[in-house]
Structure 1
Amino acid sequence: MKEQKELISLRRKLHYRMVMIFVLLMIQTVMCELNKTRLIEQQHLVTCLIQISKQYFDQQIMISLPRYDEQSFRKKVSGGTENKFLAQEGNNFESILLHKLLISGQSSVFVYRDADESGVEEMHSKHSSYLIYLQRNAIGSLNYRLQCLKKNYFRNLKSRFVVILDKKFEDPEKEVTNVLSKLWEFKVINVIVLLKLRAQDVLQIGIVPKDLKQTLEVRKFDNVIGIYTWFPYRDYKYCYNTRKFYLLDVWIMEGNGHFILNSSLFPDKVGNSLNKCTVVVSTTEYYPFVEFPIYIKSTGSVKAVYDKGWDISLLNIITEVMNVSVQFLPPSREKFGRFLMNGTFTGIIGDLAYSRCDIAVGGLPLTPPFIDTGDHSAIYSRSEFVWLIPCARRLHGWRNIFRIFSSTLWLCVFLSISLAACIIHCLAKCTLSFKTPGTERYLDMSESSYKIFAVFLGTSVSSIPRTTPLRVFFLAWIGYSLAISTVIQSFLTSFLVRSDMEEQVSSFNDILNSGMEYGFTPQYDIFFSMAGTSHEKDVLGDRKNCGYEKRCLHRVAHKRDFAMLFSKVNYDYEVKHDYVDPDRWTILICTIPESFLGFYFTVYTPKGHQLLGRLNVVISRILQAGLYDKIQDAHVHWMRLKLKVHGEETDDDGPYQLSLQHLKVAFFILMAGHLIGLIVFLKEIVYWKFIRSA
């Protein structure tokens, strides 16, 4: 009986062990099949990525992988060098992917793990494509990696992103939405998301094209790879809503694998019409490009709206063609902005650097720091810097008399009078032997001088010469005096009516030679380094700082001892008409004829912004049509009408009506002559009374 019980117990143990062995074998078989299936899926995923990289990627690929054993590594793998195979670290997917990329012939591959920031610097300003592999904590890991990549300028118009979600999620649709939303926070839209699912699950996620539905319904139990993306600006209600995403294509895991539709995975996502989606614009008041905004109350807040200015008119054309609505950012106190000591930017520059706007416009030059913080569009206008100088004033009063002849000619005229007096005195002495009556008056030198000067002034003499030699010389002197007097009277009359101008500074060398101080705002320094002018060292070394432009302009206009470098556009349409003499309506600030520096105006977007391509097309067509020139011409016409109404524009070529103002100097000379004559007359009366009393 005891032996029978032991036999039964032994049989049970044996049966139990056999069951355990069978179960273990079954588990091992299932695990092998699962591993085999997973390996096949990974191989298909890698094959899918290789095909995408060959068709859509450029010569550089950055692969972003999860952290591995709390260590970071970065290696550079050059195509065609198999001994640099990097698959010894990481899981099977990483090994297969790196091996396949290595032998596929890609020029260079950068592998980057979460904690390694040094390798990203090698990708600085290079057009690259990105593979981002996500497993656990997909959104948190994606956010961290994008932050690291952003520090080193990863965004550009040619960058394409492929995000691989290698995990089974409870709500895969929500996970895809979160990934697209996180990328949109960094203004990345050129992205596709790869997700492994059963075909029947793919039908339930996103918007599925009709061409794919039939194939997926037939293969509803097969595992496939769905390729998803989203399209901004397609619908006014879903302009920036990533929850509405699309299934572009499906990779079938059969044989070597293939796409069902072979459709474009990176289509153009910015069409000709943006369906009234809102575009955020950063600008600031900068006449004549942007005029002062108007403020409108809306939903409990006050919004700034810009509706006047050259660039606002340009913006209106752009928004009409692109079919978008505009939202202006509140104006900043810093206007264009600057770089602060804490490492941040302000103003328009800050709006570009931190992607707070979609477009920045308003007379923005093609110079740093704008080109460092944003991407510029096609150039739409050009301007120059010119030197502002005090305008030459008209010479009024007695100073015009000395401008009739040069100083040398005036000296010759007075010497001729003295010489003529000597000659006529000598002729009178020579003819003394003839004892001709009336000749004795010319024997006195003072009498001869009086008579010669009287003839020069065009007045009569008390006694005329009686001898032939005196008469001949006297007639010659009358002709000479008449010619000189006519010239003097003609020029004097013209100067009294329209006086001549002071000598005007005409070049930068004249400014340097005149000893006049000059200066400009510190923001203009960058133009000298870009242009590389010959005067760069001289100008930057001796210039005065015009931190406050109004103060420097006031000094140029009223103190007249300063020259200032200024934008020609702003001078022509603002400064030129703001600084005017209120009495004579003459311009107080002029420019030298030559331009000093040239620069260009452009529109900016944040780095890598999706609207730049479409913006370039629209601006190029606006320039070809001459619409920006028409905007400027219309503004010039309006300015001329305004100046005519206010009397600020005078016609220098029109007829003059003589007034007391024009002949004031002539009357002063007449009164001075009468005063001198009165003094001489009174002196003679006193003199003769003194003689008689004596």
Structure 2
Amino acid sequence: EMEISEVLLITAIVEIFSGARSHLAKCLNDIALRHFTPGETLIFSKSYNEYRNNLQFQRKFLTKTDDVSSSISAELAFLSSPLEELHQQELWPLVLCNRQICDEFRHGTRSKHSSYIFSLQARDLIREIREKLTALKELAEWNPRAKFVVAVEQCYFFSRNVNAVVEEILTELWNWKIVNAVILIPAQNIQFQCNGNESHNKSSKRQVSEKLPIPLLEVFTWFPYQLSNLCGQVKRAILINTWVLDGEDREGFLHEIPLFGKKIPSDLRGCPVRVSAFAYSPFFNQDMNNGKHKDAIIFNDGLEFSLLKTMIAATNISVTFQPLPVGDDLWGRPLKNGSWTGILGQVLSGNSEVAVCGLYYVCHLSNGFECSMPYIFDETLWYIPCPKPFPHWMSLSRVFDVSLWLVFILVYVIYSTLIWVSVMLYNMQGNVQHPCTSISKCFLNLWAIILGVSAYDKSPEKTIIRVSFLLWVMYSLALNSVYQTFLTSFLIDPGLEREISTVEELLESEMELGIPTTVDTVLPELTSSRYWRHTLCPDMSLCFRRLAYEGNFAVLCSRYSTEYDEGHKYIDSNGKSHLCHLKQTFSLQSVTMTVQKGSLLLEKFNAVISHVIEAGLMNLWWKDLKFLATLRADKVLEAPNSEYTAMTMEHFQSAFFVLAFGSLLAVLCFVWEFLH
């Protein structure tokens, strides 16, 4: 008799669960048809093992008889009716997911999931939710902003207040950045049936006899920023709808209202947002005159600082800047254990909500990040030492190119030799001796014509020699006029040495290369053997000082950052920059804000960024920043004198070098003649 009563009790409980499952299947089907986008992936997460392991009555009675075990297994198989209802609609790609099955989809499509249904069956609801979310978060398609339906299918253990249970579930979802969620809980009359409450059973029978709507499932949700003092804290679960059975045995929602309404208001009521940033011009310029709060991070200007102020005004948030990360990796780089350093690590660990400081797009490197829409399109360039001016002692020779000097010398030698041969042939005919009787005299006379001085004391008598002499005079006059015309320009400005123009030339120059500490994260080619001479620059200002004032050093850096600093840090008194760069762009990068995946702020930030870009404010702020930097630089610049340039000994170095060489040569000739 005892075993028969136990079997009857089990059968009664299973019938109650089967009926509840039938109501739940219809409710989930109705929610999916009304709110889930057709054609987009629907994840249904459940676990039969957890269900069986947490049924205390099953542990107690399955060992009694095999017939009872078979009966229970048959009823458990029927409990898949919610999934069956959804599958029969054929409107969504339906994926049954738990810790084992989700692993098979890790290399699937990159399109994000649109909706999730969690079927909670274990006694420890929070642990079950946490395990499901842990498995799903590993997927690249994981989407915390999707629509979530959490169905609590057990009712026999609800000894506490239903609102407290729902608030615990919502709090756990909030810890995973999930807000757009509804919780389905068996109505109180179903729970009382599970617990065998006879008085409530009589009340349900009265509702049926009077054809009143009978509550079957209650739908709860919450609104994180409903009150200014909450700011995302789950303090109150709200009953927004009820799934009922009317007097005509039809099931449906009691109220025709949307379940997934707008959860995040436009006004965030001054809720605090933790931001990770550091002083990095021109994106964030730190207030150097702040004497009252020396330990606090206070910015007073900057391109992204202006954007952040606009976001504060548009969304009514309050910003607190996080302390600087430990170490030299300010932006951050990935570690072998999956974590990150720098301000990106602060966001990934949850210590900060937004990382912003000239950050390049990194969301393809980690599944835990999400990036805003780009608002600055930057480029990285190789900055190199500017070419040095040629020494002034080379001014005399640089008027003509080397090839022209060689041709000139060759013509001079050949022409002098031809004149001397002509004179010798003329004298061999018994004529009067011509002055150009030796080859040395011939060379000296033609050189005198080049210099524009008197050559012959007696003009040649032979017509062919006179014509040759006249042609040399015309050639020398033209060459001398051009040389003297450009000589003054080269004495004042001797010109610049050849500049490095390509990356290949830079690598061949054996110049040491400096790169920011974390830029190799987004530009992994910098770690290849081709750039083996690279050096990390924890402090970019030190690297740029070395580049500007020492030379023999090249730096890869952002065009925005360098263009801003160049205008007031690395110019001489005449306003000339000490920095030059290759015309070839090394890489194009998008500057974005980085948040943790599922952040509620991303949608708000993207809306503000879109308006800022459309209004042209980024370009306006950039022009204003450069203009202010130029004004600050003008304080140390000297006004250039454009009327004239005073000639100094430095300009005439080449002339004095030639004079000294000529004097030395004359002394040597005198000594040689004196000795011989």
Structure 1 distance, partners of 2:651, 2:566, is: 33
Per the TM alignment, residue 474 of structure 1 is displaced from its structure 2 partner at its CA by 4.3
Change (3 A) 1:416 1:471: same
Per the TM alignment, residue 528 of structure 1 is displaced from its structure 2 partner at its CA by 5.6
Corresponding residue number in structure 2 for 1:70 = 53
Residue 284 of structure 2 corresponds to residue 290 of structure 1: yes
- Which deviations, in whole Å up to 9, do the C-alpha atoms of 1:578-635 show, x marking residues without a partner? 555x687654442221213222122222112222223222212221221112222222
Per the TM alignment, residue 350 of structure 1 is displaced from its structure 2 partner at its CA by 1.7
Corresponding residue number in structure 2 for 1:273 = 267
Residue 245 of structure 2 corresponds to residue 225 of structure 1: no
Answer with 1 or 2: which has the greater Rg.
1
Residue 325 of structure 2 corresponds to residue 332 of structure 1: yes
Residues 29-178 of structure 1 correspond to what in structure 2 (within 5 A)?
A: 40-57=19-36, 58-65=40-47, 67-70=50-53, 88=73, 91=76, 94-105=79-90, 107-110=93-96, 112=98, 117-122=99-104, 124=106, 126-127=112-113, 128-133=115-120, 136-152=123-139, 154-164=142-152, 166-167=154-155, 168-178=158-168
Corresponding residue number in structure 1 for 2:380 = 385
Change (3 A) 1:131 1:341: closer
Corresponding residue number in structure 2 for 1:569 = 560
Match of 2:303 among 298, 310, 318: 310
CA contact (8 A) 1:421 1:448 kept: yes
Match of 1:449 among 438, 443, 467: 443
CA contact (8 A) 2:216 2:245 kept: yes
Per the TM alignment, residue 641 of structure 1 is displaced from its structure 2 partner at its CA by 2.5
CA contact (8 A) 2:275 2:321 kept: yes
Per the TM alignment, residue 186 of structure 1 is displaced from its structure 2 partner at its CA by 1.6
Residues 373-522 of structure 1 correspond to what in structure 2 (within 5 A)?
A: 373-425=368-420, 430=426, 441-461=435-455, 463-465=457-459, 467=461, 469=463, 473-511=468-506, 520=515
Structure 2 distance, partners of 1:89, 1:290, is: 66
CA contact (8 A) 2:514 2:536 kept: no
Secondary structure of residue in 2 paired with 1:46: helix
Structure 2 distance, partners of 1:447, 1:38, is: 126
Change (3 A) 1:504 1:64: same
Structure 1 distance, partners of 2:181, 2:116, is: 10
Amino acid of the structure 2 residue aligned with 1:456: I
Structure 2 distance, partners of 1:220, 1:348, is: 59
CA contact (8 A) 2:514 2:537 kept: no
Secondary structure of residue in 2 paired with 1:110: strand
Per the TM alignment, residue 253 of structure 1 is displaced from its structure 2 partner at its CA by 2.6
Per the TM alignment, residue 266 of structure 1 is displaced from its structure 2 partner at its CA by 0.9
CA contact (8 A) 2:153 2:185 kept: yes
Change (3 A) 1:238 1:528: closer
CA contact (8 A) 1:527 1:597 kept: no
Structure 2 distance, partners of 1:475, 1:266, is: 102
Q: Note the aligned Cα RMSD (angstroms).
A: 4.4
Structure 2 distance, partners of 1:90, 1:151, is: 33
Residue 584 of structure 2 corresponds to residue 599 of structure 1: no
- Which deviations, in whole Å up to 9, do the C-alpha atoms of 1:305-360 show, x marking residues without a partner? 33432112122222222222212222213312223344432222223323333322
- Which deviations, in whole Å up to 9, do the C-alpha atoms of 1:11-67 show, x marking residues without a partner? xxxxxxxxx9xxx99x99999999877754543233222211332345322233582
Higher relative contact order (CA 8 A, sep 6+): 2
Per the TM alignment, residue 380 of structure 1 is displaced from its structure 2 partner at its CA by 1.5
Residue 672 of structure 2 corresponds to residue 672 of structure 1: no
Q: Bigger CA drift: 448-457 or 496-505?
A: 448-457
Structure 1 distance, partners of 2:635, 2:289, is: 29
CA contact (8 A) 2:274 2:354 kept: yes
Corresponding residue number in structure 2 for 1:630 = 620
Task: Specify every segment of 5 or more residues in structure 1 that has no aligned partner in the other structure, as ranges.
Answer: 1-19, 73-86, 202-214, 530-535
Structure 2 distance, partners of 1:35, 1:681, is: 126
CA contact (8 A) 2:149 2:184 kept: no
Change (3 A) 1:541 1:413: closer
Structure 1 distance, partners of 2:351, 2:117, is: 24
- Which deviations, in whole Å up to 9, do the C-alpha atoms of 1:521-577 show, x marking residues without a partner? 685555567xxxxxx699644532322365765665566555554333333233686
Amino acid of the structure 2 residue aligned with 1:235: L
Per the TM alignment, residue 374 of structure 1 is displaced from its structure 2 partner at its CA by 0.7
Corresponding residue number in structure 1 for 2:232 = 240
CA contact (8 A) 1:89 1:95 kept: no
Change (3 A) 1:111 1:657: closer
Per the TM alignment, residue 92 of structure 1 is displaced from its structure 2 partner at its CA by 8.7
Corresponding residue number in structure 1 for 2:533 = 544
CA contact (8 A) 2:287 2:299 kept: yes
CA contact (8 A) 1:198 1:222 kept: no
Structure 1 distance, partners of 2:289, 2:105, is: 44
Amino acid of the structure 2 residue aligned with 1:504: E
Structure 1 distance, partners of 2:294, 2:576, is: 45
- Which deviations, in whole Å up to 9, do the C-alpha atoms of 1:227-283 show, x marking residues without a partner? 221112333222223113433222223222221222111112223332322222222
Change (3 A) 1:198 1:88: closer
Structure 1 distance, partners of 2:254, 2:245, is: 11
Residue 348 of structure 2 corresponds to residue 353 of structure 1: yes
Q: Normalised by the size of structure 1, how large is the TM-score? A: 0.76
Residues 185-200 of structure 1 correspond to what in structure 2 (within 5 A)?
A: 185-198=175-188
Match of 1:320 among 307, 313, 319: 313
Change (3 A) 1:383 1:464: farther
Q: Normalised by the size of structure 2, how large is the TM-score? A: 0.78
Change (3 A) 1:388 1:31: closer
Structure 2 distance, partners of 1:538, 1:103, is: 53
Corresponding residue number in structure 2 for 1:8 = none
CA contact (8 A) 2:50 2:122 kept: no
Structure 1 distance, partners of 2:12, 2:505, is: 90
Secondary structure of residue in 2 paired with 1:382: strand
Change (3 A) 1:33 1:484: closer
Per the TM alignment, residue 423 of structure 1 is displaced from its structure 2 partner at its CA by 4.9
Change (3 A) 1:649 1:224: farther
CA contact (8 A) 2:574 2:640 kept: no
- Which deviations, in whole Å up to 9, do the C-alpha atoms of 1:68-118 show, x marking residues without a partner? 34399xxxxxxxxxxxxxx95775983443443444445424154xxxx32
Change (3 A) 1:271 1:572: same
Task: Specify every segment of 5 or more residues in structure 2 that has no aligned partner in the other structure, as ranges.
Answer: 56-71, 192-206
Amino acid of the structure 1 residue aligned with 2:226: R
